[in-house]
Amino acid sequence: MAKQETTIQAELPGHGASVLPSVTIDSFNVEIEDDDGFIGDKASKGAFWELVDKWRKPLQDLGEDPFEDKASEDLSKSKLAEILATGDPAAASLVLGAIEDFAQQLAFVIRRFLRLKDWRDVECLVVGGGFRGSRIGELAIARAHLLLRAEGIDVDLELIHNDPDEAGLIGAAHLLPAWMLKGHDGILAVDIGGTNIRAGVVELNLKKSSDLAKAAVVKSELWRHADEETDRDSATERLAKMLQDLIDWSKKNKIELAPIIGIGCPGIIKEDGSIDRGGQNLPGNWESARFNLPRVIREMIPEIGGAETMVVMHNDAIVQGLSELPYVKDRQKWGVLTIGTGLGNASFTNRDVPTKSKK
């Protein structure tokens, strides 16, 4: 009876579900504290810029800071990568120092995660988020992988295959059972973050690949809410306008959308679509018991293509991780880390992979 109930649960998409069509979610939004606070903060985007500041300080005291008076957070990761490749050796060594320190901190965080019961048998960790989308991020992640290997920790650290900006949209298609996608060209997806809200049209390309390996974002809109003074109601209205624009674009381009909107959102998502905690970086109070984002979106977008709109929402790190499903079919247990405003995390067990011994 229990097995049958689990199967039914996986077939009907629900907000924050622990069983999805292809995976069981073992753990997510882990918050481990030490004397310095949450350890995930040691591997966030902000933590990297703090390390850049640390390496700049001795040079500032000598009047030899290669970045002069520019604040570290205003430096672009692409500029640092350029300096690393062809810049002044002193400036390049500063960047190298920050990368090494960040890699050490990331390796520390991963070691702590792997001690947890739900993470102990993880075979690979996929790393996404905005930091991964830069050369600096790629080098720091690769260095952390080498550090873990040198300690005999048998876990693969892999870069997420899709562009991190698109992975959080593509993963939304994996929240849904295959039968809900058949006969449609695409779905609408939303990735809500502490800095940006991104909405897009995900073309499914099921005829090319039934496992969504060929799914792609063909149109998207980005709003940097962190750059504006805004509140929750204005933010949801802006999101609804973005979605309506995408619906209109899809109609003009003859892309038949499923009447579904998949949303990735920070925090712990409850069964009714409310946010239990973790939405503190969003504009306004998204954790209020009186606020329900899926309900708001359904009211603003009541139908798509003449059919009643369905909205399904899950944690943003989970959704980004789901985009990797076509590439981890041979894994039994795996996880995702998203390095951005914070450190998103989730661990999964693939539902259809036979149990095997660890490599």
Inter-residue contact 232 to 238 (CB < 8 Å)? no
Span 65-77, pLDDT tens digits: 888 878 887 788 8
How far is residue 43's CA from residue 140's CA, in Å, rounded to a whole number?
10
Q: Which of 25-34, 59-68, 253-262 has the lowest mean pLDDT?
A: 59-68
- Start-end ranges of CATH 3.30.420.40 in the chain? 163-322
pTM score, whole prediction: 0.89
How far is residue 52's CA from residue 101's CA, in Å, rounded to a whole number?
9
Per-residue confidence (pLDDT) for residue 338, from 0 to 100:
95
Query: 56 or 33, which is more confident?
Result: 56
Q: 163-322: which CATH topology?
A: Nucleotidyltransferase; domain 5 (3.30.420)
b or e along 322-339 (b: 16 or more beta carbons within 10 Å of the residue's beta carbon)?
A: bbbbbbbeebbbbbbbbb
Angle at 261 between CA 259 and CA 264, to 5 degrees: 165
Residue 3 has pLDDT above 60, yes or no: no
Span 239-278, pLDDT tens digits: 999 999 999 999 999 999 999 999 999 989 999 999 987 7
Residue 95 has pLDDT above 70, yes or no: yes
Q: Residue 226 — pLDDT band, cuts 50, 70, 90? A: confident
Mean pLDDT of 53-72: 85
